[in-house]
Amino acid sequence: MADYVYGPGRTHLFVPGPVNIPDPVIRAMNRQNEDYRSPAVPALTKILLEDVKKIFKTTSGTPFIIPTTGTGAWESALTNTLSPGDRIVSFLIGQFSLLWIDQQQRLGFNVDVVESDWGRGADLDVLEAKLRQDTAHTIKAIAIVHNETATGVTNNLATVRKLLDAYRHPALVLVDGVSSICALDFRMDEWGVDVALTGSQKALSMPTGLGIVCASPKALEASKTAKSVRVFFDWKDYLKFYKMGTYWPYTPSIQLLYGLRAALDLLEEEGLDNVIKRHTRLGTATRLAVEAWGLKNCTQKEEWFSNTVTAVVVPSYIDSGEIVKHAWKRYNLSLGLGLNKIAGKVFRIGHLGNLNEPAVSHYAIRCLEVMLKEERQAFAAFRSGFKVLDSRSQKPSERPACFS
Amino acid sequence: MADYVYGPGRTHLFVPGPVNIPDPVIRAMNRQNEDYRSPAVPALTKILLEDVKKIFKTTSGTPFIIPTTGTGAWESALTNTLSPGDRIVSFLIGQFSLLWIDQQQRLGFNVDVVESDWGRGADLDVLEAKLRQDTAHTIKAIAIVHNETATGVTNNLATVRKLLDAYRHPALVLVDGVSSICALDFRMDEWGVDVALTGSQKALSMPTGLGIVCASPKALEASKTAKSVRVFFDWKDYLKFYKMGTYWPYTPSIQLLYGLRAALDLLEEEGLDNVIKRHTRLGTATRLAVEAWGLKNCTQKEEWFSNTVTAVVVPSYIDSGEIVKHAWKRYNLSLGLGLNKIAGKVFRIGHLGNLNEPAVSHYAIRCLEVMLKEERQAFAAFRSGFKVLDSRSQKPSERPACFS
Amino acid sequence: MADYVYGPGRTHLFVPGPVNIPDPVIRAMNRQNEDYRSPAVPALTKILLEDVKKIFKTTSGTPFIIPTTGTGAWESALTNTLSPGDRIVSFLIGQFSLLWIDQQQRLGFNVDVVESDWGRGADLDVLEAKLRQDTAHTIKAIAIVHNETATGVTNNLATVRKLLDAYRHPALVLVDGVSSICALDFRMDEWGVDVALTGSQKALSMPTGLGIVCASPKALEASKTAKSVRVFFDWKDYLKFYKMGTYWPYTPSIQLLYGLRAALDLLEEEGLDNVIKRHTRLGTATRLAVEAWGLKNCTQKEEWFSNTVTAVVVPSYIDSGEIVKHAWKRYNLSLGLGLNKIAGKVFRIGHLGNLNEPAVSHYAIRCLEVMLKEERQAFAAFRSGFKVLDSRSQKPSERPACFS
Amino acid sequence: MADYVYGPGRTHLFVPGPVNIPDPVIRAMNRQNEDYRSPAVPALTKILLEDVKKIFKTTSGTPFIIPTTGTGAWESALTNTLSPGDRIVSFLIGQFSLLWIDQQQRLGFNVDVVESDWGRGADLDVLEAKLRQDTAHTIKAIAIVHNETATGVTNNLATVRKLLDAYRHPALVLVDGVSSICALDFRMDEWGVDVALTGSQKALSMPTGLGIVCASPKALEASKTAKSVRVFFDWKDYLKFYKMGTYWPYTPSIQLLYGLRAALDLLEEEGLDNVIKRHTRLGTATRLAVEAWGLKNCTQKEEWFSNTVTAVVVPSYIDSGEIVKHAWKRYNLSLGLGLNKIAGKVFRIGHLGNLNEPAVSHYAIRCLEVMLKEERQAFAAFRSGFKVLDSRSQKPSERPACFS
């Protein structure tokens, strides 16, 4: 007996990725393959590479649109700029920074982990202390998530830059912008970020499949001597094809390129700064609701509040996983689980990407309110309402048509 | 300056048609044209004609899937069964029965109008009186809406049949099931309905474009002698092509045929009786909400409550049109206007088709609650949130990409 | 055992409608329903009504975009401009003019049929004789197909106008442009056409579902006094809603409106005159091929050659239906059958709409060449190649997935 | 001035990937994101992992569906089974085996390259000699392409297995099946292949984006001790999530999973062995045509003829790149270029994936015939036919609508 629902109505994604795709992006991707060695695809790519820089707020950066996920984008950022044994100062503040650190260690770097309690931001005082001491410049890179998706914590990148400048430290700044870029205020050039990256299924509001990495001139320079082993993720191959004007060292997804074109057009239409303001409103409203419910935000100080994801701490007698499960089964509402050490203790509301105010406050928040307060009489009629199918685990011939 | 919105997020249709289309139906229609004279399209049509009978709960009826709208389906029902000057007893209980009566008059029938206050059902006592008197059987047909979409009133068709049987009256029963079939309990054979009809964009949850008409054997017999002028809507042409096994007197929409296939598959999967129960829950919840708001249902008695649409009476100092406009601009929420004599006095919540319980009670009802109670502090951040574009009135070169 | 094919590869439509839809039109239609009473749909409609005039080459005409087929568009043209008993001079030159004449007769007009051999154009000498004699102006309308789809014959509308002018005859000119408009040179204003009409699935290259009718000021004037019974097709209702700025007397197909927007954008991009030139090339190439095969064109004189459809006469010992069947089964190639009195004697190659030169000459003509000359050794390997499925006649649970 | 075409008609892909996608696969992918941590996605994944084994003809293998391309799949195969310095015998027979060898070298393996003339298969006599000598089992792996996409050469994998068995050699067999699996006869279990891999955009006929890798039990065992650095491509992470039943170490593309479901359903419907037979017919017909043209197949012996791609040698006074360019501009026909040392000397006809016989022989071959023989009089009318747009390089506001 399956434990999930299929029936009338829509799916509502309030996980911090993959997010709800706008219809024009779905339409743009509804297409045949094309020959990527024809003159048309390079022409499309050329302007995409130009336009995609805007989401990083960079003019000097070089973007790479890699057929991979955020995890691959991380690997691309690290292996192209560093050599095995290089010292990285890396901030552990939640599950995603933990996974990145795990990757850094497995790739053979010397990771100097600065841990914070989950719910707190990167400890920049520790960074300052380390920079002060590191007159020999043994620190080759700072690796930091702009926004920790697991806890809803936004780090202060401007301060990272100020500290580096203050100590005239040449370390590269590698930023995971997976749950920030296109939603939070991110300024690659102004903050002197050397590698920034995101994934297409996050605030860009596309399907999964593109890891978008942007390298500063300094990062590109570093890539010439970086000794980490890499082939699939090697920028060198991309740069070679950029120079030839054919752009792709291997086959890109045509559909995702057109989807990216549509996504960038929508961003331009709304205006990136308006998009960021919209996320501020969505984050504010979510936090006001959490406060109104009498629940605690996992994020411990206002300075770290995230406008893309809010991790809500549930009372100790509740398993937050049950809320997530219930939301999915009864409301077609996808929420994020608590991960690792906060599993069962928090659930996460993703409020990023193609969402507007009423969707957040009048659907997601409302469903949560009802779940949290127990369903009241007016909705008692719904109690037995949902159909439970296990269609997706069935053989084709047994699968119902809705699955098609 | 345009007065409508385009931006992130989805459209929420709570008009009583066109309704929200399920994704599998959209997918099924995402296709090329086909040659309707090939062997494939007749094979598809044959089984569609068989399966579509189920939505009428008929085994003896003959369906016609006409490339038209509900208005065309009305015309098909009337002109195929009646001759100019024929007496029709017709019930005026709202804007859609009014429009049908207007059509009946313009088509040259002798329409015996039985009017009720808007908000009340068909006056069957008057019908009884007329049947009692009509020993000469001058009444050739009873024309009645199963559900008046303008007022949210469901008529009692079983009683109509009982009265006709009681007086052994041979009048044809023509039923507009536009906002009932596939959502309310409708029983063509059991209730002795002679012509029933619906439109694809209603509870079938498809795009507009199919007027689906079903004729009883008695109606088919009547069509042989009916003298109303008709060509496009003539059942005779359909029946000729049915006999030839090619089915179509003129070109059908291939896309809509595959869409209908998907819609019928979904109905079969959920089960028509479960679909009807779901609509009962949606109607009940909506009415409980209206009651909780302290507002009046336009429908004056419980026996006429509609499970597909609820017309809500607003206090006299409010223009209901403003609510509809505001809901659309601020919440991407489409509600129905009050029509004709109840314009400005009611707004309508459509709760039919591809909707589930949380969409109705946690989105539509919630948005309405917030609008009605004034937006409270928690949502104040949204006040300036919406972008107003007039994209759809622009020339192609000026239109933003989201419009594509 | 089914007699049709499903398998890898594409369908190739060379019927004179429905035609191959361009991908941007399919993408534009891949969407949800919208509320047609919101401000957005009227804004879209307004500009569509303006732009659609261009396909008729009219500035003074009033277009009606009716949710119907070509047959419905015929009915709209006739019933809005004429009264029962009115004399129409109507040219019978093939199956489609025959069907229109049948409709004219069933609608109660006094049809003065001018018949030509099938393969010849309208006999305008007879028209001249009738106009000369008709000093009393008993002829109320001339009904003529611009292009007879069954025989591939294009009539000379400029001459019709000249004759009417020469005799100062006030008859309305009603033109079926179903297989001409958007492909052949058609000039509503210049030729003084009073009603012109087409269907969306023809040279506009959309799905079936829109009957597009355009009325001259004189036709609109005539509609005020025309006594033919009409409701669904009544222009009066459209004009009333045009005036109100809400445009639709009943529910339009949102998907088709966006499809029409995309189709008109493509026409504008290619340029209507370039589109017409392209069809001239497609027609010329097809006729050269037919000549090269040593077969006869059904069209008897060059002046009537059609650039949208070519009817090819087969030798008497061949049943043309077999060629059509074989083309469909073996080549996924849809050709038109010979209809009525030329059934079995001709097959038709539609070369209109979204087609280019290599598709016509290198696919359709090539497949025909191979079929006609017997398949040669090089392709012998294909003989046993096709899979025959009867998927479309099966119950959902038995249908293969490709059908989804 | 742009040098590419956009206009009416379709694109015809006869490159050896990306190939033409079947409509049911496009439809299946026309959908929203879903939460991959919900119960639904694992249920879908579970059966996909089971069904995808069939394309490898394995029951004992473990598949990995990785969000990457063929290049990434190569990297996954190598890094999971081998340690830096390990000796690989690798066959260089064309551009793709060359690229794989380059990757092997850059990943730090000791690559023992066995080169053949381009157009010849892997030299298995040399392999035999090496195996005979290698009594110390210094050869850790044999890396071989099943089908070299650049030259149209199919290697004999059964013989590789026989040789290994004959010398009881434990080397792993790593097979690039990118242009063979789902099209040529490939038998993982029977031939004792240890790692086999393909990409979604090849014979599976999907968009680019999935690298599908299958590991034998012996390969899985090897992965436990392989010391190559890997994170994104590490099977260990996949296996950990397989065990947990959540399947994905990072975000998969929901759309591609549903596309894969549809693609596997189509394969099952046609039958993998019928698919292979179809490719045999397509390959045979193409070679017969090349022979009829008097041109030479790049593949030098019949035993290596490829049924998925044919590389055609052009006379020395022709630049094959011109043919490819011309085919694309004039016929919307995408052919493969000659690569590296055969650039300008061959063009390639891809005849794999969603293609049928008439598409190959009546479109691609026909267009090539006409190009090669000079266009004859019958098609002279086309000479000026094509519109040249540079739409894809334009800014959004300047781009024509067809681009949307």
Is D30 in Cβ contact with C30 (below 8 Å)? Answer: yes
Chain C residue with CA closest to A396: the answer is C401
Spatial separation of the C-alpha atoms in residues C310 and C264, rounded to whole Å: 26
CATH number, domain A23-268, options 3.40.640.10, 3.40.50.1860, 3.40.50.970, 3.30.200.20 = 3.40.640.10
- Contact check, Cβ <8 Å, C288/D378: yes
Per the prediction, chain A carries an average pLDDT of 90
Q: Note whether B208 contacts C: Cβ–Cβ < 8 A.
A: yes
Interface confidence, given as ipTM, is: 0.92
pLDDT for position B369: 85
Please tell me the distance in Å from C38's CA to the nearest CA on chain B: 8
Q: Which residues, in sequence order, are CB contacts of D128 under 8 Å at separation 6+?
A: D163, D167
- How many interface pairs between C and D have CB atoms less than 8 angstroms apart? 151
CB contact under 8 A, A13 and D31: no
Q: Which residues of D touch A35 (CB under 8 A)?
A: 11, 13, 15, 18, 328, 334
Within the 108-167 window of chain B, which residues sit less than 8 Å (CB to CB) from chain D?
none
Q: What is the pLDDT of residue C392?
A: 36
The residue to which tokens 């990527």 are assigned? A36
B262-301: pLDDT as tens digits: 999 999 999 999 999 999 999 999 999 999 888 999 999 9
pTM: 0.93
- Rounded (5°) CA angle A162-A167-A168: 90
10-residue mean pLDDT profile of chain D (404 residues): values are 55 95 97 94 96 98 98 98 98 98 98 98 98 98 98 98 98 98 98 98 98 98 98 98 97 98 95 96 94 92 98 89 88 94 96 93 87 48 32 40 33
Over the stretch A4-40, which tens digit does the pLDDT of each residue have? 344 788 889 999 999 999 999 999 999 999 999 998 9
Partner D contacted by B33 (CB < 8 A): no
Please compute the mean of the pLDDT values over residues C138-148 and round it to a whole number: 98
Mutate to test the interface with C, among D266, D366, D383 (most CBs of C within 10 A): D366
Q: Is A348 annotated as a binding residue?
A: yes
Rounded distance, CA B20 to CA B43, Å?
29
Determine the 3-state secondary structure of B143 from DSSP.
Answer: strand
CB-nearest to A35 from D67, D250, D334 is D334
Which residue on chain C is closest to A402 by alpha carbon?
C404
Answer whether A30 sits within 8 Å of C27, measured CB to CB.
Answer: yes
Q: Shortest CA distance to A151 belongs to which of A300, A324, A354?
A: A300
| Chains touching B, CB cut-off 8 Å, 3+ pairs | A, C, D
CA–CA gap between residue A143 and residue A77 (Å, rounded): 10
Which residue did the predictor score with more confidence, B371 or A227?
A227
Q: Which B-chain residues 59-88 have CB contacts (< 8 A) with chain C?
A: 67-72, 75, 84
C401 CB within 8 Å of a chain D CB: yes
Confidence class for position B374, pLDDT limits 50, 70, 90: low
> What angle is formed at CA C309 by the lines to CA C306 and CA C310, rounded to 5 degrees?
85
pLDDT tens digits, one per residue of A201-236: 999 999 999 999 999 999 999 999 999 999 999 999
Determine the average pLDDT of the residues in C92-115.
98
A26 touches C: beta carbon within 8 Å: yes
Token pair, residue D313, equals 């040698």
Q: How far apart are CA D324 and CA A38, in angstroms?
A: 9
Residue type, B237: D
**Contacting residues of C for D356, CB less than 8 Å apart:** 7-9, 332, 385-386
Nearest residue to A309 (alpha-carbon basis) of A94, A15, A98, A22: A15
The pLDDT assigned to A7 comes to 73
Q: Where are the beta strands (DSSP E) in A330-399?
A: 333-337, 346-350
DSSP per residue over B310-343, as a string? EEEEPPTTS-HHHHHHHHHHHH-EEEEEP-GGGT
The domain locations on chain B are 12-16+272-382, 23-268
* Contact criterion met (CB < 8 Å) for D11 and A34: yes
Condensed to tens digits (0 to 9), the pLDDT of residues A109-163 reads 999 999 999 999 999 999 999 999 999 999 999 999 999 999 999 999 999 999 9
Smallest CA–CA distance from C270 into chain D, residue = D7
In this complex, do D358 and C381 lie within 8 Å of one another by their Cβ atoms? no
Chain A: partners with 3+ C-beta pairs within 8 Å: B, C, D
SS3 B190: coil
Q: How many whole angstroms separate alpha carbon B84 and alpha carbon B79?
A: 9
Q: What is the three-class DSSP state of B220?
A: helix
Q: Closest residue of D to C204, CA-based?
A: D8
Which residues of D fall in the annotated binding site for substrate? 348
> Are C56 and C185 contacting, i.e. CB atoms less than 8 angstroms apart?
no
Would an 8 Å CB–CB cutoff place A251 in contact with chain C? no
Candidate from A28, A31, A396 with C-beta closest to C401: A396
Residue of chain B with shortest Cα separation from A19? B9
- Chain A nearest-CA distance from C106, in A, is 43
Kindly state the DSSP code that residue A31 receives in the 8-state scheme: S
Contact at 8 Å (CB) between A33 and D21?
yes
CA distance B174 to chain C (A): 18
Rounded average pLDDT over C350-368: 91
User: CA nearest A200: which of A173, A179, A174?
Assistant: A179
Task: Find, in chain A, the residue whose alpha carbon is nearest to that of C29.
Answer: A27
Q: Which of A23, A396, A398 sits opposite C31 (nearest CB)?
A: A23
Which residue of chain C comes nearest to A25, CA vs CA? C27
**Nearest CA of chain A to the CA of C397: how many Å?**
6
What distance in Å separates residue C278's CA from the closest CA in chain D? 7
Give residue-wise pLDDT tens across range D99-117: 999 999 999 999 999 999 9
Query: In this complex, is the C-beta atom of C238 within 8 Å of any C-beta atom belonging to chain B?
Result: no
Residue A370's pLDDT band (cuts 50, 70, 90)? confident
Domain spanning C12-16+271-382: CATH 3.90.1150.10 = yes
Looking at the partner chain, which of C24, C386, C389 has a beta carbon nearest the beta carbon of D401? C24
Using the beta-carbon criterion (under 8 Å), do D33 and A201 form an inter-chain contact? yes
Query: DSSP string covering A253-316, please?
Result: -HHHHHHHHHHHHHHHHH-HHHHHHHHHHHHHHHHHHHHHTTPEESS-SGGGB-SSEEEEEPPT
For residue D298, with 0-12 CB atoms within 10 Å meaning exposed, 13-18 middle and 19 or more buried, which class applies? buried
Residue B347 has which token pair? 């707004």
Average pLDDT of chain B to the nearest whole number? 90
| Nearest chain B CA: its distance from D325 CA (Å) | 28
Q: Do C232 and B268 touch (CB under 8 A)?
A: no
Written as six digits, the tokens of D272 are: 């993998």
Domain D12-16+272-382 has CATH 3.40.50.740: no
Interface test with C, best of A20, A29, A30 (most C CBs within 10 A): A30
Phi and psi dihedrals of D243, rounded to 5?
Answer: -65, -35
Chain A nearest C-alpha distance from B331 (Å): 6
Show the DSSP H helices in D31-106 as ranges. 40-56, 70-81, 95-106
Written as one letter, the residue type at A224 is: K
B355 and A387 within 8 Å at the Cβ level: the answer is no
Which residue, among A397, A398, A402, A403, would best test binding to C if mutated, counting the most C CBs under 10 Å from its CB?
A397
Strands D346-350 and D333-337: antiparallel
C50 touching A (Cβ < 8 Å): no
Which residue of chain B comes nearest to C2, CA vs CA? B39
pLDDT at A380 over 80: no
A163/chain D closest Cα distance in angstroms: 31
CB contact under 8 A, B284 and A381: yes
Q: Could you tell me which of B359, B341, B9 has the C-alpha nearest to residue B350?
A: B359
- What pLDDT, on the 0 to 100 scale, is given for residue C374? 53
Three-class SS of chain C = CCCCECCCCCCEEECCCCCCCCHHHHHHHCCCCCCCCCCHHHHHHHHHHHHHHHHHCCCCCEEEEECCCHHHHHHHHHHHHCCCCCEEEEEECCHHHHHHHHHHHHCCCEEEEEECCECECCCHHHHHHHHHHCCCCCEEEEEEECEECCCCEECCHHHHHHHHHHCCCCCEEEEECCCCCCCCCCCCCCCCCCEEEEECCCCCCCCCCCEEEEECHHHHHHHCCCCCCCCCCCHHHHHHHHHHCCCCCCCCCHHHHHHHHHHHHHHHHHCHHHHHHHHHHHHHHHHHHHHHCCCEECCCCHHHECCCEEEEECCCCCCHHHHHHHHHHHHCEEEEECCHHHCCCEEEEECCCCCCHHHHHHHHHHHHHHHHCCCCHHHHHHCCCCCECCHHHCCHHHCCHHHC
Question: Between A27, A30, A401, which is nearest C396 by CB?
Answer: A401
C27: nearest CA partner in chain B: B30
Contact with chain D for residue C183, Cβ under 8 A: no
What pLDDT, in 10s, does the model give residues C261-292?
999 999 999 999 999 999 999 999 999 999 98
Cβ contacts of A340 within 8 Å, gap of 6 or more:
A95, A98, A150
